[in-house]
């Protein structure tokens, strides 16, 4: 049986291989559950206004319940929208960081989706947030495992940076399957810039977009053939990442997950560093005498989501925000009461506070208010 260090090293290697081959994610999530001590894991993304959701990859969740979640229950999950307020890469407990255990258990989501699966606890981390969507990793525990403990949280915190990097790189390459031994050829057609570099940052190969980005020298440059950033801080972060990548997956840690590149014209880009010294990626590293691949993409606007904007503008509490979005999704006070598992009197109290804080008088006005914040994002 492998010890913890061996399990972690093996898992991290598989995580980065999955960034090039999305078919490996189910196995990666299974190994992640084994290492962390969970019963099920999912990688999901959810729109922050229209409340549509997509389960990208999962392990340990019955297909029937996965379908129910995608079709119906994601809209009834009372942990939303509180999950949106946590910074990326921080590990948190759904209970009690988002909602109390009592409220979770009384909700329709708890009774109809969690309870039949014997799910009692879980940890989550946001991987990417934008004004319109949020992607999240969730590792859940079932009744035989007990509640999340400090050891689970410690191990979860160790794997989150690596999974986040792999997910972000997968997004850049559009989740296609890439043959590691032919990495450069596979990425030559990418619209995002891509570079293969050695330990010192010397460029071994760059795709067309990469050559174009260097020639413009607005965010990246290549003095003497070494990949570097215009911004001094970002330049050092990239160099540190390349040096760490040469020492292996685990050594890279949080370095190079999403290095912000400031361009001369004030635009911003993100650089993601993928190590090539372990797993199936070693073929590419050996073939090109490279220790890492660098993917660069344009950064999205750093704006709050509609729930965050509304909560900040009007000083709403998490409970008030849950009632507000339940009203948007299901409508009437009795229905909101049933969905959230709270009394109608409590719903009416929160509703009264919402009217007072937002200077509105009817539920339709509340819906219109939130819609105004959402519509501003799509203009």
Farthest CA pair distance, the chain: 70
Residue 130 DSSP symbol:
-
**Tokens 């993100």, located at residue:** 270
- Sequence-distant (6+) residues with CB within 8 A of 72 are none
User: For the domain with range 306-378, which CATH number is right: 1.10.3480.10, 3.40.50.720, 1.10.10.10, 3.30.470.10?
Assistant: 1.10.10.10
How high is the pLDDT of residue 112?
97
Instruction: Write the class of the CATH domain 180-298.
Output: alpha beta
If we measure between CA atoms, which residue out of 217, 218, 260 comes closest to residue 238?
260
Buried b (16+ CB within 10 A) or exposed e, 32-41: bbebbbbbbb
Q: What is the pLDDT of residues 323-364, one digit of tens each?
A: 999 998 888 999 999 999 999 999 999 999 999 999 999 999
Average pLDDT over residues 80-97: 94
Q: Where are the domains of the chain?
A: 4-172, 180-298, 306-378
Buried b (16+ CB within 10 A) or exposed e, 241-269: bbbbbbeebbebeebbbbbbbbbeeeeeb
pLDDT exceeds cutoff 60 at 103: yes
Q: Do domains 4-172 and 180-298 have the same CATH topology?
A: yes
| Fold (CATH) for 4-172 | Beta-Lactamase (3.30.450)
pLDDT exceeds cutoff 80 at 254: no
Residue 88 DSSP symbol:
T
pLDDT grade for 175, boundaries at 50, 70 and 90:
very low
Contact 58, 66 (CB under 8 A): yes
E strand segments, 77-218: 92-93, 119-129, 133-142, 193-197, 203-206
Average pLDDT, the chain: 90
Distances (CA, A) of 378 to 85, 132, 232: 21, 9, 34
Average pLDDT over residues 38-61: 91
């Amino acid at each position: 049986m492998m010890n913890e260090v061996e399990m972690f090293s093996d898992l991290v290697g598989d995580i980065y291989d999955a960034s090039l081959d999305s078919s490996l994610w189910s196995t990666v999530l299974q190994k992640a559950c084994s290492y962390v001590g969970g019963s099920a894991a999912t990688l999901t993304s959810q729109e922050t206004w229209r409340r549509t959701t997509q389960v990208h990859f999962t392990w340990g969740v019955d297909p029937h319940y996965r379908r129910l979640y995608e079709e119906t229950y994601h809209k009834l999950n009372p942990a939303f929208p509180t999950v949106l307020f946590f910074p990326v890469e921080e590990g948190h407990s759904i209970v009690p960081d988002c909602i109390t255990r009592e409220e979770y258990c009384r909700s329709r989501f708890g009774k109809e989706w969690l309870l039949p699966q014997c799910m009692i606890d879980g940890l989550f981390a946001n991987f990417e947030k934008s004004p319109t969507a949020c992607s999240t990793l969730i590792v859940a525990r079932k009744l035989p495992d007990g509640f999340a403990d400090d050891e689970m949280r410690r191990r979860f915190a160790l794997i989150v940076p690596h999974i986040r990097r792999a997910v972000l790189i997968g997004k850049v390459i559009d989740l296609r399957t890439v043959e590691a031994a032919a990495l450069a050829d596979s990425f030559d057609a990418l619209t995002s810039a891509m570079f293969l570099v050695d330990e010192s940052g010397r460029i071994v190969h760059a795709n067309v977009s990469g050559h174009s980005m260097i020639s413009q020298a607005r965010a990246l440059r290549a003095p003497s053939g070494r990949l570097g950033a215009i911004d001094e801080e970002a330049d050092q972060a990239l160099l540190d990442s390349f040096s760490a990548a040469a020492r292996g997956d685990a050594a890279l840690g949080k370095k190079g997950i999403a290095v912000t590149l400031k361009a001369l014209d004030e635009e911003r880009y993100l650089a993601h560093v993928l190590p090539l010294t372990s797993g199936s990626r070693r073929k590419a590293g050996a073939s090109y005498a490279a220790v890492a691949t660098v993917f660069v993409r344009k950064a999205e606007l750093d704006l709050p989501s509609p729930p965050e904007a509304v909560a900040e503008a009007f000083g709403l509490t998490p409970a008030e925000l849950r009632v507000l979005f339940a009203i948007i999704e299901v409508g009437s006070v009795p229905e909101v009461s049933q969905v959230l598992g709270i009394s109608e009197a409590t719903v009416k109290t929160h509703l009264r506070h919402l009217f007072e804080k937002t200077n509105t008088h009817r539920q339709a006005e509340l819906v219109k208010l939130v819609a105004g914040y959402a519509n501003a994002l799509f203009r």
